[in-house]
Structure 1
Amino acid sequence: MKKITFLLILIAFVSCDKSQEKLSIMTYNIRYGNANDGKNHWHKRKEFLSDQINYYHPDIFGIQEGLQHQVHFLDSVLVDYNYIGVGRDDGKTKGEYSAIFYNSKSFTAIENNTFWLSETPSEISVGWDAAMERICTYGLFENVTTKQQFYVFNTHFDHIGTQARIKSAELIIEKITEFNLKNLPVMLMGDLNLTPEAKPIQLLSKVLNDSKSISKTKPFGPIGTFNGFKFNKPVTDRIDYIFTSRKNITVEKYAVLSDSKNCKYPSDHLPVFVEVSIN
């Protein structure tokens, strides 16, 4: 009888553990490698930025604005990670990536792709009134131990096109619905170039949860995420987000990370970091 009771408790513990799988997620606009950035040039900040990511060691993180050499640098120094994604200018290596890095010891990428935020998402294109090509990279990931699957979408909205940002939000919602036929957990992250009251953010918030608004613990860090490399000014513009599906993800913690070194930020954006439970 004691053995049976022990086995039942063990089974219940394992089931509970599996049903509450924990994940740490980060989104980070790393600032493209601009030769005119002077004291904030990529080569002067890349080691601190990569050390920062490695310290928090998220299970999954998405970057925006990364050029090929920046993506390759992160891939070379963050040894536990693989990545998915392409350059937006040619669908291969040219232009900025919205790459998704994942801890390859714990997860595999079952499938992945990139679509353009435009009227022709399967083609390299500029959408609506956008100033340039914009993309969304996504992957279906699987935990190698539990076999739990989930989707991650990573994007960077246009900084000028008002219509483009509305249509981009609508398109991503459409694509999530199209791809996620099994109603798996979904996370959408990125630099959306909009503050929370903007229409595209409101559109996304009707379908997905803004992780900050549902965090079980009090959000930590500055209100905003865009610092513009201005170390001595408050960070108040919140334009970087992590959204989650409504029914199967609980946000345990939310933070905006304002780490600095010698009074300098590692990027002109602060990363957003969340801990979630997949139910």
Structure 2
Amino acid sequence: MHTLRIMSFNIRGAHHQQDGLNIWEQRALLNIETIRSCDPDLIGFQELQLENLNMYQHHLTEYESLLGLRAADSEPYEYVAIFWKPARLTLLKAGSFWLSEMPQTFAKGWDAACIRVANWAHFRVVESEKELLHYNTHLDHVSERARRGGVQLILQRLTSMPESRLPIVVTGDFNCSPNSFVYRLFQEHGFVDTYLAAGKSDNLNAPTFHDFGCSLVSKEEGKGWEQRIDWILLRDKQELLQVRLSEIVRDAKPPLYPSDHYPVISEILLE
């Protein structure tokens, strides 16, 4: 038996000078400390920009990375990057596409506010020779139509891949709640939410977006769970994997936070 630790983390890009105390220069080491404490083997990052990448390449030398296509037309650019430990995973194949009606063209899709991308990688687990497919994405924060179109495109691409028979992990900031059409669409295509599969539940303590400790949703309104917008999803038709645990990682040193999102970490048991 072997385990894989998988993380999804919207890290808040480095070029947001309006973040006050929580600008990247002041929270970068706390961000890295949080990643190290979780010790993931595989990471799906959202909002990674070049200054974030420089820090990670300096401090997280045990990882290799795949940036994929960029989601901005000028510096500092932005990527839904995949990082992995080559000691645990061997990269076999990879690809990337824009979430739009023309996925090979740099363009916004379905009235999205921003350019959006999906990045994928096909890995072999070093110890067991088992293989898996990882998709990482960041859906639009404004347009519901763009979120639906993006997920439908991802699922269409998955279905057409010969690797679709493999266990598939999807990480991302989906910018919608577990009560959304997007979430149900993943369920209809056989994906399970590792957070719920590990025995957790959606409640007032479940949000992953917190806006540096100042959540935009009032818990008094009973809607805190609706900000659980960062998920790790799993589809395993061969039943080779088992969800061992899943946590929303709330590491912080208020008023300093690693990001405006909490990362999610899931541990998967490989038979």
Letter in 1 for 2:63: Y
Greater RCO, CA 8 A, separation 6+: 2
Residue of 262, 265, 270 corresponding to 1:273: 265
What is the correspondence of 1:157-196 to structure 2 with a 5 Å cutoff? 157-181=139-163, 183-196=165-178
Query: Can you list the C-alpha shifts for 1:87-107, whole angstroms capped at 9, x where unaligned?
Result: 2235x9752110011012221
The answer on whether the counterparts of 2:133 and 2:163 sit within 8 Å (CA) in structure 1 is: no
* Gapped regions of structure 1 (runs ≥ 5): 1-16
Percent identity of equivalent pairs: 30
Residue of 233, 239, 248 corresponding to 2:229: 239
In structure 1, C-alpha distance between the alignment counterparts of 2:129 and 2:75, rounded to whole Å: 31
The answer on whether the counterparts of 2:21 and 2:256 sit within 8 Å (CA) in structure 1 is: no
In structure 1, C-alpha distance between the alignment counterparts of 2:34 and 2:13, rounded to whole Å: 17
In structure 2, C-alpha distance between the alignment counterparts of 1:126 and 1:262, rounded to whole Å: 36
Is 1:145–2:135 an aligned residue pair?
no
Greater CA drift, 187-196 or 175-184: 175-184
Is 1:102–2:79 an aligned residue pair?
no
Letter in 2 for 1:142: R
Is 1:229–2:212 an aligned residue pair?
yes
* Gapped regions of structure 2 (runs ≥ 5): none
* CA 1:48–1:161: 2 relative to 1, 3 Å: same
Q: How many residues align?
A: 258
Matching residue of 1:72: 54
Greater CA drift, 140-149 or 188-197: 140-149
In structure 2, C-alpha distance between the alignment counterparts of 1:231 and 1:265, rounded to whole Å: 11
The answer on whether the counterparts of 1:219 and 1:253 sit within 8 Å (CA) in structure 2 is: no
In structure 1, C-alpha distance between the alignment counterparts of 2:24 and 2:141, rounded to whole Å: 21
Deviation at 1:267, TM superposition (A): 0.5
Residue of 186, 189, 201 corresponding to 1:204: 186
Q: Compute the TM-score of the two structures, normalised by the length of structure 1.
A: 0.86
The answer on whether the counterparts of 1:209 and 1:246 sit within 8 Å (CA) in structure 2 is: no
The answer on whether the counterparts of 1:220 and 1:254 sit within 8 Å (CA) in structure 2 is: no
The answer on whether the counterparts of 2:248 and 2:264 sit within 8 Å (CA) in structure 1 is: yes
Is 1:57–2:55 an aligned residue pair?
no
CA RMSD of superposed structures (Å):
2.1
Deviation at 1:82, TM superposition (A): 0.6
Is 1:44–2:35 an aligned residue pair?
no
In structure 2, C-alpha distance between the alignment counterparts of 1:278 and 1:105, rounded to whole Å: 16
Q: Compute the TM-score of the two structures, normalised by the length of structure 2.
A: 0.88
Deviation at 1:241, TM superposition (A): 0.5
Report the secondary structure of 1:37's partner residue: helix
Residue of 53, 61, 72 corresponding to 1:89: 72
In structure 2, C-alpha distance between the alignment counterparts of 1:79 and 1:220, rounded to whole Å: 35
Query: Can you list the C-alpha shifts for 1:104-130, whole angstroms capped at 9, x where unaligned?
Result: 222121111111110111221110110
Report the secondary structure of 2:18's partner residue: coil
Letter in 2 for 1:31: R
The answer on whether the counterparts of 2:206 and 2:228 sit within 8 Å (CA) in structure 1 is: yes
The answer on whether the counterparts of 2:132 and 2:166 sit within 8 Å (CA) in structure 1 is: yes
In structure 2, C-alpha distance between the alignment counterparts of 1:210 and 1:134, rounded to whole Å: 22
Report the secondary structure of 1:258's partner residue: coil
